[in-house]
Amino acid sequence: MQNQMLSDLVSDDGTRVSRRVFGDETLYKEELRRVFHRSWLYLAHESEIPNVGDYVSATMGETPVIVTRGKGNKVHALLNACRHRGVAVCRANRGNTRAFVCPYHAWTYGIDGRFMGAPFRKEAYPDDFDNKDWGLVPVAKVASYCGLIFGTFDEEAESLDDHLGDMRYYLDVTFDRRAGGVEILGPPQKWILESNWKLPAENQVGDNYHAGHLHGTFVSQPAYDEILDIAQNVCPKRGHGLGLRIMPEGTAPSSMFPGCEGLPGASPAVREYYEEVYAETQERLGELRSRMRPLSHTVFPNFSLLHPTYTVRVSHPRGSHRAEIWSWAYADKDAPDEVKDQIRKGYMLTFGPSGTLEKEDGEAWQQQVIGNKMEVANDYPYYYGMGVGTERREEAMPGLIGPALSEHPQRNYYLAWREAMERGGALPQ
């Protein structure tokens, strides 16, 4: 298979995507290397590890890592494998510790990953054994934006700020409304989808189309019409995208809450809270951005958020047709407890494995496997041409902007995937 084949998998205009992109085992192994070993990947939120010694487990692609808070509040990301024989040194999903001790031979590492010692270190190890050389393998680069911690294995990767690009302008609408930012409301829900990992990411990059159909028993026709009427799809940078409601000028602050009318999480207390802090939001975000009520976002390759239901999530690859979703609820750090509680409850009712809407998404994503596995239909690509040519640039805000039913964020998502794959050269036969 030549590099040429990658352009057969995703057409130059992004309107045709081969089913092999989702179902091919060889491509899956290559994308672990070409996409997940090189991209910036979401690890955790800073509020999950507030104190020195705090840690949470995470994965980057299929690679287990530990995210820790070291001395001087520095965040570290370390491969969770002993340098001696490869045994996992962190055996819990979260906690606080002074050291990670390998259960096999007790090689011991600091919270920052440095080698601290091993039994018979003096008696049995040669003179040229240097502690400095045997710390846990660090993730090459770690950086945060609005408390969102990302890491990449690629030492030559562009900075996180450059990777996010103009997506930051839109992420601020969710995470920088108030001075304290947001905090995570508890451990993540984790569950398995027998689905390709890209499907959830592609959905959240800007699929407003499905809301009125897949979720038709929850999203009323008037609500769907309203979304289609006021929402726009935005691609701030190739790979990243979002659906975005921009409320008309003069909209009452009581209608500026993140949620959706009629969905849980839009209780009077929540709405009053957002009304009360709206002046602060306007000051921080400016006139236009304070009128923005985003729907869903994806940051390439697999980090997403759902603004109306207060959740961030990662679609971890676990095989060509197996994904592990980690999903957290968040709220403004300085929101009253009652508001946090109602946001948390609204999230659980709608998204996560018990969420009424998520259950329907998961059903669609799992059922897509049927089409992906039809090798006899490999010459018949999936269609991503909805709204082609409607995307445009506007002075007022960054990115390619199109109507709610334009799939340009999806097209650019798969073109970003193709570019990442092409950087790795020819595909193996």
Q: Please report how close the Cβ of residue 337 comes to another protein at its closest, in angstroms.
A: 7
Query: In this chain, which of 23, 61, 110, 188 binds another protein, going by CB under 8 A?
Result: 188
Q: Please report how close the Cβ of residue 72 comes to another protein at its closest, in angstroms.
A: 24
Number of residues that bind another protein (CB under 8 A): 45
CA angle 266, 279, 261 (to 5 degrees): 20
Q: Please report how close the Cβ of residue 326 comes to another protein at its closest, in angstroms.
A: 9
Residue 366 binds another protein (CB under 8 A):
yes
CA angle 154, 157, 158 (to 5 degrees): 165
Q: Please report how close the Cβ of residue 94 comes to another protein at its closest, in angstroms.
A: 7
| Long-range contacts of the stretch 363-368 (C-beta < 8 A, 24+) | 364/210, 364/214, 365/193, 365/195, 365/196, 365/199, 365/200, 365/203, 365/323, 366/193, 366/194, 366/195, 368/22, 368/195, 368/196, 368/199
CA angle 298, 390, 217 (to 5 degrees): 55
Residue 217 binds another protein (CB under 8 A):
yes
Taking alpha carbons only, the member of 211, 236, 37 closest to residue 137 is 37
Cα gap 268→14, rounded to integer Å: 43
Nearer to another protein, 94 or 105 (CB): 94
**CA terminus-to-terminus distance, the chain:** 5
Binding to another protein (CB under 8 A) within 252-271 occurs at 264
| DSSP class per residue in 37-86 | TTS-EEEEEGGGS-STTEEEEEEETTEEEEEEE-GGG-EEEEESS-TTT-
**Residues 81-100: x where in contact with another protein by CB under 8 A, - otherwise, as a string:** ----------xxxxx-x---
Residue 359 binds another protein (CB under 8 A):
yes
Binding to another protein (CB under 8 A) within 300-329 occurs at 324, 328-329
CB of 66 within 8 A of CB of 58? yes
Amino acid at 352: G
CB of 350 within 8 A of CB of 309? yes
Residue 47 binds another protein (CB under 8 A):
no
Nearer to another protein, 1 or 185 (CB): 185
Residue 189 binds another protein (CB under 8 A):
yes
Cα gap 53→55, rounded to integer Å: 6
Bridge partners of 42?
Answer: 150
Residue 337 binds another protein (CB under 8 A):
yes
Residue 392 binds another protein (CB under 8 A):
no
Structure-token pair, residue 254 = 């009581």
Nearer to another protein, 92 or 179 (CB): 92
State residue 236 phi and psi, 5-degree precision: -70, -25
Nearer to another protein, 195 or 412 (CB): 195
Residue 195 binds another protein (CB under 8 A):
yes
Query: 157: how many CB neighbours lie within 10 A of its CB?
Result: 17
Residue 405 binds another protein (CB under 8 A):
no
Residue 220 binds another protein (CB under 8 A):
no
Query: In this chain, which of 5, 30, 154, 218 binds another protein, going by CB under 8 A?
Result: 218
Residue 340 binds another protein (CB under 8 A):
yes
Which stretch in 69-77, 294-302, 337-345, 390-398 sits in contact with another protein by CB under 8 A? Answer: 337-345
Which stretch in 134-142, 220-228, 340-348, 420-428 sits in contact with another protein by CB under 8 A? Answer: 340-348
Q: Please report how close the Cβ of residue 114 comes to another protein at its closest, in angstroms.
A: 21
Residue 352 binds another protein (CB under 8 A):
yes
The DSSP code for 147 is: T
Residue 54 binds another protein (CB under 8 A):
no
Query: 395: how many CB neighbours lie within 10 A of its CB?
Result: 5
Residues that bind another protein (CB under 8 A): 91-95, 97, 185-195, 214, 216-218, 264, 324, 328-329, 337, 340-341, 344-345, 347-349, 352-354, 356, 358-360, 362-366
